[in-house]
Amino acid sequence: MRKIVHRHLGKVVAGAAVAVAGTAVMIGITLPGTAGADDTGGGKAAAGQSAAQAGQGADGAVAPGVVEQAPAAEGEKGKGRDPLTDDEIQRVEKIAVNPQLLNASEDVEGDRGPERLTVDLADPKVGELDDPDAPRRADVTFYDYRDDTLVTRTVDLDTGKVVATGTQHGVQPPLSSAEYAKAASLLIADPLGADLKADYKDATDKELTDPNQLLLTGAVYRAVPGGQPAVLDKCGEHRCVRLFPKVKNGPWIDARAFVIDLSARKVAKLES
């Protein structure tokens, strides 16, 4: 990767390697906690050697092994303010999407049913703050691409019933992994994605054809008066995203100049 950087840029800028291909900028960054993540040699061997030495006494004899008790399996139901269990999450997801919501909504792919975003333990009501036996409830949030609506349904975990439903427009919570993948797919397929694909080619010598070739994060984009082309004026009402793609085991690619409107399925470049 360093050779690619030097060929494009000719020097290292501010300690980071930057490669330019078209208008997208490829940035080599070592993130906290990722250094040495791909190492397969000395680190593991040294760790194993230290562990072996720790089990020996001063005379070289191996100390008796200690068998730790296995952690208790997570139950189907939590208690009080315990985090939701996997079983509870799966259950409330099914309860929250009744046939009416399923048939009247669309996900990010345009398929039947809303796009699931989050499942969280609901806050207790005011009168339940000191009650250890207060009902456990879960808030399930969805995004309905049919009419750009955020839907929140509250499920009572004891009764298995939806006890509240709320809808909001113009509210844009963080995106799901499926939404990031769809945004990348739209950008790759659009003529404006040519620079992204060129940078990927420089980094890997391979063609970028699928979002699964990238590690994807991003941020919701809201329209700023005079700060974008007219095609993005509805961002905020529409679900729009700026992607921060990363080559797997490779550099970041700066795609911040591009905004993908997931509601309209359009890609635009921000005006400089």
> Is the pLDDT confidence value at 58 over 80?
no
pLDDT value for 15: 32
Mean predicted confidence (pLDDT) in 121-136: 83
Out of 24-28, 33-37, 54-58, 86-90, least confident range: 33-37
Judged against a pLDDT cut of 90, whether residue 133 lies above it is answered with: no
d(CA 8, CA 155): 55
| Nearest residue to 260 via CA among 148, 164, 183, 158 | 183
DSSP codes of every residue in 178-221: HHHHHHHHHHHHSGGGHHHHHHHHHHHSS----GGGEEEEEEE-
Nearest to 260 by CA among 199, 190, 187, 188: 187
Would you say residue 224 has pLDDT above 70?
A: yes
3-state secondary structure of 35: coil
Beta strand 252-254 with 266-269 is: unpaired
Does the pLDDT value for residue 127 go beyond 70? yes
Res 116: pLDDT: 96
- What proportion of the chain, given as a percentage, has pLDDT over 90? 61
pLDDT at 54 over 60: no
Is the pLDDT score of 259 beyond 90?
A: yes
Of the two residues 54 and 113, the one the predictor is more confident about is 113
pLDDT mean across residues, the chain: 78
pLDDT-based confidence at residue 46 (cuts at 50, 70, 90): very low
Q: What confidence score (pLDDT) does residue 113 get?
A: 95
What average pLDDT does range 216-243 have in this prediction?
A: 92
**Average pLDDT over every residue of 60-89:** 62
User: In 3D, which of 257, 256, 252, 255 has the Cα closest to residue 271?
Assistant: 257
Nearest to 141 by CA among 120, 170, 113, 169: 120
pTM of the predicted model as reported, rounded to 2 decimal places: 0.71
Kindly tell me if the per-residue pLDDT of 221 is higher than 90: yes
**Distance of CA 78 to CAs 40, 83, 90, 138, 158, Å?**
39, 7, 13, 12, 11
Average confidence (pLDDT) over 152-167 = 95
* Under 8 Å between Cβ of 198 and 22: yes
The pLDDT value given to residue 196: 97
CB 83 within 8 A of CB 121: yes
Q: Residue 65 has what DSSP assignment?
A: P
